[in-house]
Structure 1
Amino acid sequence: MILGLKNRRHSTDFWIILSRTLALSGWILFIFAIVMSYYAAPEQDYGLLRFRDIEIRQFWLTPLTGYLYIVLWVSALCSYLCLIVDHYRTRRKQDSKHFNIVLLLTITVAWVIYILVKLNLA
């Protein structure tokens, strides 16, 4: 039987604020990368566009793709640093596991690999 465990944390310290800031900036950069990839990726080839002889860009825009790499890697770095800070900061079973940060890191790295493969095949 556990007798009256007391939470001795009085307020958030620097490391918790840093962890939250890194997590938030990682997600904001990820959303920004989604918007940027819309403009950098090739356009969809619909039948109506071919019928009307509208020109379709079928290649990645290289300047935007370079910026997209940078944004994705910085987002992955923010999530990785957040995981490191959380690993050394959290010591209790009740502390959050931050599965969303692990998911962000996995999706970001997989997205970079996908873009690299798509660019090398094109």
Structure 2
Amino acid sequence: MMTQKSDGGSKVAQREERRKSTDFWIYLQKSLALLSWIFFLVALIMSYYAAPDQYYGMLRYYDIEIRQFWLTPLTGYLYILLWLSTLGSYIALMTDKYRCRRYIDNPHYHLMFLIVVNLIWLVYILVEAP
């Protein structure tokens, strides 16, 4: 049902909201999005410990030995976390696509961004880590 609303001389058509309340799929989508971001943040922390150390001039001057390779066990966990984050974001986007059909619904650009960043990061680790 459409209602007409006068807004300073112009008429704006507004649709009446027919949704009763949020359902299971919306809660699933929101929880998957939150879980995907948590996996991403844990992966950021884990990559700090798994990646090789930076070789600064002060370390070279004092002849301090640094690790110049990726830690294999942590890199495996990092792969798993990034893939779980990507999968959760993808499932949340697909749930949103089939559940929300109105043009005024949120397009969830943050999930698309998270998928792209995760995939780029996975390719980077695949190329850089042995």
Distance (whole Å) between structure 1 residues aligned to residue 103 and residue 49 of structure 2? 44
TM-score normalised by length of structure 2: 0.89
More strand as a share of residues: 2
Aligned length: 119
**Map of 1:60 onto structure 2:** 70
Distance (whole Å) between structure 2 residues aligned to residue 11 and residue 90 of structure 1? 13
TM-score normalised by length of structure 1: 0.94
Picking from 11, 15, 27, the partner of 1:5 is 15
What are the ranges of 5 or more consecutive residues in structure 1 without an aligned counterpart?
none
Higher RCO (Cα < 8 Å, 6 or more apart): 1
Q: Which has the larger radius of gyration?
A: 2
**Map of 1:93 onto structure 2:** 103
For 2:104, what is the secondary structure of its paired residue?
A: coil
Give the root-mean-square deviation of aligned CA atoms: 1.0
Distance (whole Å) between structure 2 residues aligned to residue 33 and residue 6 of structure 1? 43
Identity rate of aligned residues, in percent?
55
More helix as a share of residues: 1
- Give yes or no for the alignment of 1:77 onto 2:87: yes
Moved over 6 A (4+): none
- Give yes or no for the alignment of 1:112 onto 2:122: yes
